[in-house]
Amino acid sequence: MAKPFLQEAGNGMHIHQSLERDGVNAFSLADEDSIIGNSLMRKYLTGLLKHHMELQLVMTPTVSGYKRLQDYSFSPTQVTWGLDHRLVGVRSITGAGAANRLESRWAAADANPYLVLAGCLAAGLEGLENDYVLMDQVIGDPHADERWQRLPTDLAGAIDNFDSDFTRSTYGDVFVDNFIFMQRREAAEFAEHGQGPLDRVSEWEIKRYRGVI
């Protein structure tokens, strides 16, 4: 369950990602890139950032997950990145040599890891194949900066973003159509049976999620 206790930090699924070339971590090879120090890492990162809003539904598929997304809770609430920064959506770890990597911090613990991984890989691959411009990194407090795009605050907002050419090419039309249908039902169930203040975890959420995910 992504947020069983409102007063505590939520449960996330942080996905650490790197690429291998000839048995070596390709993100560890310094090159002429002036932003991160590795052009492959930068390009992969641009894909993660470009497509996150479309992937939010698979990364946060439950009502509980949206209560996890609170400012200053180490759960990212914006589309952001930073160098070894723990309040952003993607943390770039560049000083670890062979362990250099990107850490996607958006997903909730109750997400399907296979769907999350598939989305990250597809987004990163598209970044490698295109010349997207990398947004500015976060330095300091991201929550006080209105430049950064905020994530949806509920299932309804995430559903609206999920139906896209990118998600359909990644997951297929059948999955996208059925997942949207299921998530709309989930939102409707919560509205009918579990709706309540956002400052508490409802009994409906506990009964529906705690024993299963």
C-alpha 83: how far from chain center: 17
CA 211 – CA 169 distance, rounded (Å): 33
Mean pLDDT across the chain: 92
Average pLDDT rounded to a whole number, residues 65-76: 90
Residue ranges of domains in the chain, CATH in brackets: 15-209 (3.30.590.10)
Higher pLDDT, 212 or 202: 202
Whole-model pTM? 0.92
Q: Give pLDDT tens digits for 128-180.
A: 999 999 999 999 899 988 899 999 999 999 999 999 999 999 999 999 999 99
Where are the extended beta strands (E) located within the chain? 15-17, 20-21, 24-25, 81-83, 90-93, 101-104
Q: Quick one: pLDDT at residue 4?
A: 85
